[in-house]
Structure 1
Amino acid sequence: MKFDLDDQQRDFASSIDAALGAADLPAAVRAWADGDTGPGRKVWSTLADLGVTALNVAEEHDGIGASPVDLVVALERLGYWCVPGPVTESVAVSPILLSSDERSAALAAGELVATVSASAQPRAVNADFAGLILVSDGQEVREGSAGEAHDSVDPSRKLFDVTATGDGWAADVALASEFGALAVAAQLVGAGQALLDASVEYAKQRTQFGRVIGSYQAIKHKLADVHIALELARPLVYGAALSLADRTPDTARDVSAAKVAAADAGLLAARSALQTHGAIGFTQEHDLGLLLLRVQALRSAWGTPTAHRRRLLEAL
């Protein structure tokens, strides 16, 4: 079977690229890390205008009710551009946890941003930015309040202890967790692609011993390995999206396979990008460092690679 995106999905990805490419995301991420979420809020407003925040919200709550494949199309681009904030939690997970709650409409419109504390991710990301904190425990969901803040390897992704408050309601917590892992996998593929693109461009310009470094076999092979890893991870991510759409018995296996492959590809892209750029890649002035830290943070989000490998082995 050959799988490919249709014209509408390609156009959707292109519209996201056009909007985020003009938004100066590196400046927004740096400002966010320094506590100024103003530029980031404008980015989220753009996402709402594009319909990204409504993708996983049901149509009866003014959402789009899109397929998981459409969700992956969008989240891969958000990963590519390193969008700050609780992207996975608000766009992919919260619509499922809110279920038929009337606040789903505000989520779809981008008027409400939510974050989540769950067994796969006990501390809530960017709880100081979110207007709603959801705490999932077993089959029940409750609202939460933010407690102590903790630094993350990615300064723009502060983590917060949360305390559940109020009455709970039933929701498909297991399904929400699968969407969380899938969403992170899609962002890792996007971030890995951004790192590869930046490395290829740099290798065409940087010279050493009178030659551009991209002409050396060592660099060519290193970047080719990253390309192969991403090309192997991407179909697993889309395959997991199809599995989620059909609710197949192998959904958990497919999601874990996607998360593991995407995490490994993202890590390889990060290491290769840093080796290609050299020390300049981790200076404050270079945008590459933002992606390097984002990949490292996302690798353990919504289940560590070890946890997903264990689940994958149990399913085989």
Structure 2
Amino acid sequence: MRFAPSNEHTAFAASLGELLRGSDVPGIARAWAEGDHGPGLALWHRLAELGVTALLVPEDAGGLGADAVDLAIAFEVLGYHAVPGPLVESAAVVPVLLAGSAAGQGWLPRLAAGESLATVAVHPHVPHALDADVAALRLSVTGDEVRVCTGTGTGPLRSVDPARRLFALPPGELLPIGCGAAFDHGVLAVSSQLIGAAQRVLDDSVAHAARRTQYGREIGRFQAVKHLLADVAVAVELARPLVRGAAVALAGAAPEAARDVSAARVAAADAAHLAVRTGLQVHGAVGYTREHDLGLWLTKVRALIGGWGTGSFHRRRVREALTGAADGSGGGRT
């Protein structure tokens, strides 16, 4: 399956990137980690004006009625800039859960307009809800049961990413809806974020290697450094088509969509992990400092790799889809 972005996709990504480049997202992420949500919510409203929060909301609910391909394009840019907040939950998962339901008639227009944020826990893969103290709508999914929770429950719990505030939601009221492909949309969104983050770390590492000198030469001219960066570039370029191909399959409700989404998730996570490891090597000691922006992507990638299903779960999912054999083991933990 081949995917090439349309002119509309390219223009949308460029507009979103321009907005985020001028928004001091690293400063917003640090403020969010400290509990100051004001700058982040202001950015959220600007993202809503651009249509990010309305992508998967049906047109009759005030949204754009877009599909998983548009979602993948947007979330790669969001990952490139390390935007904090419950983006996956509000823009990718909850609109799919609530589409066509009575509950959606009240919530979806608010989500599309950026007036409200939503979060969701999907057991066992996503046991904790992100930013439940900021979200107006909190959902908990177990199997095919979807419940709406009125409180934030236990939290915030610590994450490797300081900008991620996790909560164990309390029991809630059962909603008469199913979960459909909501989980796969969440996995796709995370995979796209990982590709964007990997590309950002690669770009920053290349720029640093062109500036940093040792023994009178830029370190980017050393063959060992070139090879490290080339390996990352290859990994990202091989993973990106898998993510975009999975978006096409999911948008078309293809029978193999779940398999493709999991395969994309594995490749994106591996590429992002290689990117941050290499980024630390290239940046050296400065990359470990709290003041350096590299840390924002390092911790975000580490958290995303462990979320929305473990690597072992997604590899097993692909294997079972290819062989038709299930081993009966659980879905992993995050």
- Give the TM-score category using the shorter length: over 0.9
What are the Cα deviations for residues 258-284 of structure 1, in whole angstroms up to 9, with x where unaligned?
Answer: 000000000000000000001111212
State percent identity of aligned pairs: 52
State the 1:255 CA deviation: 0.4
User: Number of matched residues?
Assistant: 315
1:112 alignment partner, SS class: coil
Number of the residue aligned with 1:169: 176
Please show how residues 226-305 of structure 1 align to structure 2 within 5 Å.
226-305=232-311
State the 1:4 CA deviation: 1.2
Number of the residue aligned with 1:55: 55
Please give the alpha-carbon distance, in whole angstroms, between the structure 1 residues aligned to 2:176 and 2:161: 32
Number of the residue aligned with 1:107: 111
- Deviates further, 97-106 or 215-224: 97-106
What are the Cα deviations for residues 102-130 of structure 1, in whole angstroms up to 9, with x where unaligned?
Answer: 11111111111100011220100111111
Please give the alpha-carbon distance, in whole angstroms, between the structure 1 residues aligned to 2:3 and 2:216: 44
Runs of 4+ displaced beyond 3 Å: none
**What amino acid is aligned across from residue 146 of structure 1 in structure 2?**
T
State the 1:174 CA deviation: 4.2
Query: Which residue among 126, 130, 137 is the counterpart of 1:132?
Result: 137
**What amino acid is aligned across from residue 97 of structure 2 in structure 1?**
L
Please show how residues 67-86 of structure 1 align to structure 2 within 5 Å.
67-86=67-86
Query: Is residue 2:120 matched to residue 1:116?
Result: yes
State the 1:3 CA deviation: 2.8
**What amino acid is aligned across from residue 248 of structure 2 in structure 1?**
L
Is this contact kept in 1: 2:118–2:135, CA < 8 A? yes
| TM-score, normalisation: structure 2 | 0.92
In structure 2, the CA distance between the partners of 1:37 and 1:314, relative to structure 1 (3 Å rule), is: same
2:171 alignment partner, SS class: strand
Please give the alpha-carbon distance, in whole angstroms, between the structure 2 residues aligned to 1:2 and 1:170: 34
Number of the residue aligned with 1:202: 208
State the 1:31 CA deviation: 0.6
| TM-score, normalisation: structure 1 | 0.98
Q: Which runs of 5+ in 1 are unaligned?
A: none
Query: Is residue 2:191 matched to residue 1:180?
Result: no
**What amino acid is aligned across from residue 157 of structure 1 in structure 2?**
R
1:306 alignment partner, SS class: helix
Is this contact kept in 1: 2:3–2:248, CA < 8 A? no
Number of the residue aligned with 2:160: 153
**What amino acid is aligned across from residue 110 of structure 2 in structure 1?**
A
Please give the alpha-carbon distance, in whole angstroms, between the structure 1 residues aligned to 2:172 and 2:3: 44
2:139 alignment partner, SS class: strand
Please give the alpha-carbon distance, in whole angstroms, between the structure 1 residues aligned to 2:88 and 2:13: 17
- Deviates further, 158-167 or 184-193: 158-167
Please give the alpha-carbon distance, in whole angstroms, between the structure 1 residues aligned to 2:196 and 2:176: 34
